[in-house]
A and B are shown apart, each in its own frame.
Chain A
Amino acid sequence: MKTFLRILAGLVIIGVVALLAFIFVPVQRTEPAQALAADWEPAEGQGEYVLDAADCVACHTSDDGERLAGGRAIASPMGTIWSTNITPDPETGIGEWSYADFRAAMVDGLEPDGTHLYPAMPYENYRLMSEEDIRALYDYLMTEVEPVSNEVQETELSFPFNLRFGIRAWNWLALTHGPGFTPADVPELQQRGQYLVEGPGHCAACHSPRSKFMSQDGVTADEENFLAGGVIDGWNAPALRGEGSDLAKWSVGEVAAYLATGRNAHSTANGEMGLVVEHSLQKLTDEDVLAMAAFLKGVDGDAVDLPESFAAAGPTSLEAAEADETGSATAEMLASADPDMPLGARLYMDNCIGCHFATGKGAPEMFPELQGNSMVVGSETMPLISVILNGVEVPSTAKRPMSLRMQGYGERLSDDEVAELVTWLRGAWGNDAPAVSPADVAKVREAGEAH
C-alpha cells in the first residue's frame, strides 16, 4: 500500500512538475535552417510585396483605422480575436521586437515573452515562408512603416480558450510541417505558385477543412484534404480542387483573372474573397498570379495550359454563353413567360433576369453565373441571402478598375419572397441544394450587410 501511495505521489509530483513545465518552461523557438548572410539586404520593394502577398493589411487594419495599426475584430469559433498593431510603435506596436522575435511570431506563433499567439494568426502557413521573405517583411515593417500609437483591445476569450498555454499542446498537433517550404515535383512556375499558395497566401486557412482540433486539415499540397473546401465566418470557402470544383471548370487564365481582378468569365469575388483580392492578390505581379493559378490547376496532377496573358486591357467584346444541356429546361421555362411558373421563378424574372439571364449564365466578367455557382449552392446560405438583401461589391482592381456593385433588393422583397427566390435558385439550371426558410432570411436581414 505504502509503495502504491509512494508511486502515486511520485506520479502526481511528476504530473505537477510536467504541468508546471508545460505552462512555465519557455517554448523553444525554431531556428532557421540556414541563417542569412550578415550583409543580406532585401531587394527594393520586396518587403512590401511580401506584406501584400501575405495579406497582412486585411487583418491588421481596422475599417476606419490606420494601416497596420491593428484593432480589427476577427471572428473565431472561440470568440472575437482582436488583431494587433504591427507598426513599429515601441509602446503599442512591434517597435521593440528583434528580428528573432518577429521570426518567432511568424514561424512558431510566439510573442517575444513566449506567450502563444492564437492561431487566427496563420503561422501554420507563414512558417513555410522563406527566410528571405520573413526578413524582408520585418525590415519593411520596422523601417518603412510609420509608427502608429494605437492600443488595441485585449483579446478575452472565455474559459478554457483564455488559457493560452494550451496552444502549446495544440501546436504539437497542428505544426506537423515546416518550417520552410518543400516544393512539389512540378515545373518551376508551379513551384512558385505552390509557395505563394501554401505560404504567404495562406489559402489553406480558409479553403482547407478544419480537423476536430480546429487546426488546418491540409496545409501543404501533399496532404489529402489540402484546399478541399472549408467554412469561414458563415461563408463557404469552396474547394479549389477535385471534381465539381469551380477550378476544375476554369482555365488557368480564368483562375488568374479571378485572383487578380475579382472577376472572370464565370464568377465574381465578394465577401471574404473580395477582401483578399482587394488587399492582396491585385497587387501581385502577373507572373506570380499566373504561377498561383497554374499551381492550383495542376494540384491534382492535370496538365496545365498557360495562357499568353490574362485580364488584358480591352477593347474586348465577350459574348454571353448560351444555356447548356443541364440548364436548358430552366432557361426554356423562363423564356416561356408562363404566368403559372413557380413564385421563385417569377421573382427571378422580375428582379434578376436582366443581368443573369434566362440561361443563368450571366455575362462574362460582369454578371456571375448562377448555375453551379458555389455561393448559390453552398452549404452556407447566409452569403447568397445577404447578396440579395443587401447587394454586394466586387472591388476596384488595377486591371479591372470598375467597382462592380450589385444593388440590394431588401426593400423590394419580403423574407418569404427571398426564401422562395433562393430556394428556386438552389434548384434551377441543374443546381441541387436544399431549400431555405423565411426564418433563415429574417436572421440575415437582422444581421445587416455581411461585408
Chain B
Amino acid sequence: MARQEKKKDVVIVGLGWTGSIAGIELAQEGLDIVALERGHDQNTVPNFEYPQQIDELKYGVRLKMMQKPSQQTVTVRRNGGETALPYRQLGSFLPGNGVGGAGTHWNGLNWRPQEVELRLRSYVEETFGADIIPEGMNLGDYPVSYDELEPFFTQFEKVAGISGYAGNLNGEIREGGNPFEGWRSEDFPMPPMPTTYDSSKFRDAAAAMGYHPFPASAGIASTSYVNPYGMQMGPCNFCGFCERFGCYQYSKSSPQTTILGALKRYPNFEYRTQSEVLRVELAEDGQTATGVTYWDEAAQEEVFQPADIVILSSYQLNNVHLMLLSGLGEVYDPLTGEGTLGKNYAYQMNGGISMFFKDEEFNPFVGHGANGICIDDFSISQNDFGAEGFIGGSYWRSGTFNGQPIRNMPLPAGTPAWGAGWKQAIGETYGHAMSIGSHGSHMAYANNHLDLDPTYTDRHGRPLMRMTFNWQDNDLRMNQFMKSKMEPLAASMNPDSMRAGFKGPGAEYDVRPYQTTHNTGGHIMSENAREGAVNRYCQSWKAHNVFAMGAGNFVQNTQYNPTGLVGGLAYHTVNAIRTQYLSNPRPLV
C-alpha cells in the first residue's frame, strides 16, 4: 500500500531546466508546488568545488555526474528486425542526474531554431515540392511559429544569461552577427565572449571565402550578470571544464546559477530529492491525471502524490518512458503510422575536421564549452534541398572547448594508436591542432521510434524503454555535403595536415562512442491528437492536466543544440498555464 502525501496544486517531475522554470513561474501564481527529483541535491559549493571538480578522469571519463545505467537505461536496436539489448555502459548519449539535471553539465551552447525549421514541411513543399520528401521520413511542422515563440526565447535567454551578438535585430541585419538567424526583439543580455586564437583564424578564413562568421551564443557569462529573478553569474575564466562538469565559477548558465536560489525562497514551493516518479496516475475516466506515484529512496517505499497539475520535466527519454508506462496516449506503430507515443525519436548528425599546424600555438586549455566563431552559411534556410538531394543543414563552429589530456588529443591520420610513435606524436601535436565542427539536423523517420521493451525491466520492475534507431540516407547525404564544403575551407587555412570525420553512406548507429545528448521527439507536438502526443502548449492530448516539457516535444530535431528551443517552449507552456489554464482547466486546443 503506497503512502499518500498531502495533495498539491502542482507536481513537477524532475528539477532541471524546465522543472525549475515551471516551478518559479507557477510559484509566482501562489500555487502549492512540489518538485520530485530522482537524483541528489547539488549546489555550486560544495558539489562543484575547485579543484575537485576539474577532474577529467572522474567526471569526463567515469561520468560521475551522469545517470547510471543501473538506475535507468534503454534497450537499443537499429531496426524492427533486430532484438534490442540494454545500453549497459554510457556512450552515445549521457543523461544527467540530480538537481539541475543536464543544465549543470552542458556546454552552454544556446541557439534558437530558424524560422523555417519550425514549419519545415510547409517550407519544403512550398519551395521544393512534396516529392523530394523521402519515403519513411515523417517531416512535420511545429504547431507553433517562430513569431509566437520569439518573446519566450527572449525570456529564456534573459533568465539563462546568454552572451552573444544579435545578427537580426527586429529584421535589421547587423554586421558581425548571424545574418541567417531568426529575428530577435532584443540584443543578447550579455556581450559575446572573447575570441580564442583558433576561432579568429577560422573567422578570417571563413570571411575570405565570403561566408558570414559570428560569435557563438553562449550560456557562459562574459561579464557579471544579474537576471530577471535577481540570480547571478560571474565572468568565465576560460578554464575549459564545461561539458560533463559543474561550473565552480558560477559562470555557466544552469538552474543553480539562474533559478533555484530564487525558487527556494517561495514558501509555497518544496522539492524532494531521491524521489523517482514511476508513473502518472490517471482518473478512472482517463481524461485527467490524479497525481504521480514515486519511489521514496530514503523510506524505500512507493508514495502517491496527488496533484491538480502534473508537469513532466524530466529528461526526454524519461518523459517518454513515463508517458508510455502511464498510458498517456497510444504507442506509435511504425508500420501503420498510428499512435503517437514514441513517434519521431530523432538525434543529431555531426561531423568535423581537425587541422594540424606545427608552427602554431593554440593553447587549447584556454576555452569553454560554447567557445567559438560560427557560420550558418550551410544552415537549413540556406541549402537548396532540391539540388543537393537532402533535407537539412548544419551550423559550423570552430573554437577550443578544452585541452583535457585524456579526451582531447587530436592526432594526425596515420599516427600509431599506442607506443613510442603515439607518445612522440602527442608531444609534437598537443597544442598545435584546431578543429571545425558541423552540427547538423536530424529528421524524423518511421523507423526511429521509442516503445516499451518486451524483455528487459528496470529495478522497479517496469519495462525498459526500447529505442529503435539508425542513421538514414538523407542525413548522411547532408553530412557528406558538409564535408565537401568544409574541406576547401580547412585547406585554405594551410594546415600541415588535416583529418576529417564525417559519417557517410551506409554508416550504422553505434552506441559506444559519444556523439551527443540531443535526444529528441517521442511525445511530439502536433496540430491534432492523431499526429502527436501533446498540443501546441505541450499539453497532453490525452489528459489535459498533464504538460510535458523538453526536447520530447520536437517534431524533428533542428540543426542546433536544443536548449534554446526547450527553454522557449517551457516559457510558452508556462505562460499558457498562467494565462489560460488556471482560470479554467481544460484542453487548451
Q: Which residues of A contact B (CB under 8 A)?
A: 311, 313-320, 351, 353-355, 363-367, 391, 396, 398-407, 412
Contact = CB atoms under 8 A, between A and B. Distances in A.
A79 B540 CA distance: 66
A35 to B, nearest CB: 39
A367 B234 contact: yes
A403 B224 contact: no
A407 B50 contact: yes
B234 A315 contact: no
B45 A399 contact: no
B237 A315 contact: no
B226 A313 contact: yes
Contacts of B230: 311, 313-314, 398-402
Nearest to B48: A407
Interface in B238-294: 239, 248-250, 257, 261-262, 264-265
A65 B471 CA distance: 62
B232 A365 contact: yes
Contacts of A316: 225-226
A407 B226 contact: no
A315 B158 contact: yes
B44 to A, nearest CB: 7
A320 B231 contact: no
Contacts of A407: 45-46, 49-50, 248
Contact of B239 (A354, A396, A404): A354
Q: Which of B45, B51, B237, B257 has the most CB of A within 10 A?
A: B45
For this complex, into which size category does the number of interface residues on chain B fall? 35 or more
B229 interface: yes
22 contacts: A313-B227, A313-B229, A313-B230, A317-B225, A318-B225, A353-B237, A354-B237, A365-B224, A365-B232, A367-B234, A396-B264, A400-B230, A401-B229, A401-B261, A401-B264, A402-B250, A402-B257, A404-B232, A405-B43, A406-B45, A407-B50, A407-B248
A355 B249 contact: yes
B223 A354 contact: no
Contacts of A365: 224, 226, 232
Given A363-B223, A404-B232, 6 more contacts: A314-B189, A319-B224, A365-B224, A366-B233, A401-B264, A405-B43
B365 to A, nearest CB: 13
B224 A402 contact: no
Nearest to B222: A317
Interface string B18-60: 0000000000000000000000000111100111000000000
Q: Which of A363, A402, A404, A405 has the most CB of B within 10 A?
A: A402
A400 B45 contact: no
A322 to B, nearest CB: 13
Nearest to A312: B226
Contacts of A364: 224
B265 A320 contact: no
Nearest to A261: B230
A281 B328 CA distance: 49
A366 B248 CA distance: 13
B225 A315 contact: yes
B45 A405 contact: yes
A345 B225 CA distance: 28
A412 B249 contact: no
A411 to B, nearest CB: 9
Contacts of A400: 226, 230-232
B158 A314 contact: yes
A207 to B, nearest CB: 27
A351 B50 CA distance: 8
A320 B250 CA distance: 15
A320 B45 contact: no
A155 B223 CA distance: 50
Contacts of B231: 400-402
B416 interface: no
Q: Which of B161, B232, B262, B265 has the most CB of A within 10 A?
A: B232
